[in-house]
Amino acid sequence: MSETVLLHFSGADHPGLTTALTGLLAEYDACILDVGQAVVHETLALGLLIELPSGSVFEPLKVALLAKAQSLGLHVRFTSISHESLKHWLAGQSKDRFLITLLGRAISAQQLSRVAAVLAEQELNIDRIERLSGRLSLAVHSPNANACVELRVSGVPRSQDEMRAAFLRLAQEFPIDIAFQRESIFRRNRRLFAFDMDSTLIQGEVIDELARMAGVADQVVKITESAMRGEIEFQESFRRRVALLKGLQGSRVRELLDKIPLAEGAERLICTLKTLGYKTAILSGGFTFFAHHLQARFGIDYLHANELEMANGVVTGEVTGAIVDGPRKAELLRQIAEQEKISLEQVIAVGDGANDLPMLKLAGMGIAFRAKPLVRQSASHSLTHLGLDSLLYLIGVRDRDLDTLECFKPVAVS
């Protein structure tokens, strides 16, 4: 029978180590069954699962490996793998695999420990841990830094609902976000990002700002609160609020284009997505005049919002066309996916309000961004502590990937 051995090398990393070690293995006709390597702070950890030809004896190779490791400044350990252990390992290759993404301004040992404890309770094995953000030590000194660690795990969770609930509790206890997604071909091939606009892409609600201009802010707030209590459905509450804007000058409306800032990280996110060839959409219960402004600036591919009617340069208090509410957002998202000939699993939807939930639940990944508590609990993913650009980590983009990227440049909008 052939002999199977696990080799583990550790020591200071430098160029040529892999060449030297695999070259020696080649002299003994060793077959590499598995390999894994990590470098942390210029220190190497390399594992090689090898199989020797039938009838071969490992002892001569062991002696040669010990001498080679010593000459390279490495430590080496050998573990003989039994036939039963090899069969168990091969069977485990078909296990489900998941990605756990831990995000914050900084990541502490306590936070990582608590996340790992949840995974252990769910009987999931951590196969790999990788940093996606820049150097984590610098995050402590910068309040606007991103820190992100991705854990690749395998196994069958005892209860995904219980695990998500545990992650949500940790996100409430610590200033971190935790995303959980199944590793799949769709995760590596997202194609469309769909965004709500108000309080998602921009820092505020356009209708609230218009209400302040019109001197009806208190009345609009009362209608909004009534709708949130379920006393008025969304379309009726929206029409009532718009009616209060009647008589507002169009010139005042356009002043908002320069007054409401983008959400943190929005420009970096969208510019990167456009550079990488993703399609983008705004599906908003807000107004087209502001959404068109963003579309022109960033080259957004699809836009659906509400048309604030004007006559003779004055707001009439009416909206034209169908109102974009929750169900309408979901239907529009489905239509765009069909038009692009992509699966809904390849879609990421981002929003903050209850009327975003239908599209968040329809998309392959629905993300509640700095959302209300009910929305955070209902969505499959929630981000609260970092900016919109942290979504890039969820599609596997590392900070170092962007260092030399010639990013799509936003255009000046007059």
Task: Tell me which of 196, 352, 356, 389 is the catalytic residue.
Answer: 196
Return d(Cα 70, Cα 274) in angstroms, integer: 50
For the CA atoms of 62, 67, 70, 72, what is the dihedral angle to 10 degrees?
-100
Sequence-ordered list of residues with C-beta below 8 angstroms from that of 210, at least 6 positions apart, any chain: 245, 248, 253, 256, 315
Task: Identify the DSSP state of 114.
Answer: H
Q: Is 152 helix (H, G, I), strand (E, B) or coil?
A: strand
Q: How many CB atoms lie within 10 A of CB 261?
A: 10
Q: What backbone torsions phi and psi does residue 331 show, to the nearest 5 degrees? A: -65, -40
Task: Tell me which of 29, 34, 96, 198 is the catalytic residue.
Answer: 198
Identify whether the C-beta of residue 289 lies closer than 8 Å to the C-beta of residue 254.
yes
> How do 74-81 and 4-12 pair as beta strands?
antiparallel
Tokens 């909004």 belong to 224
Size (the chain), residues = 414
Return d(Cα 213, Cα 199) in angstroms, integer: 19
* Whether residue 198 lies in the annotated active site: yes
* Whether residue 96 lies in the annotated active site: no
Of all helices (H) and strands (E), which one includes residue 84? Answer: helix 83-92
> How do 147-154 and 97-104 pair as beta strands?
antiparallel
Return d(Cα 400, Cα 414) in angstroms, integer: 34
Tokens 């709500």 belong to 196
Return d(Cα 276, Cα 407) in angstroms, integer: 9
HSE-up of residue 362 (Cα within 13 Å, Cβ side):
24
DSSP string, 13-55: --TTHHHHHHHHHHHTT-EEEEEEEEEETTEEEEEEEEEPPTT
Please, is 3 exposed, middle or buried when counting C-beta atoms within 10 Å of its C-beta (0-12, 13-18, 19+)? Answer: middle
Q: What backbone torsions phi and psi does residue 2 show, to the nearest 5 degrees? A: -75, 155
Q: Which residues are catalytic?
A: 196, 198
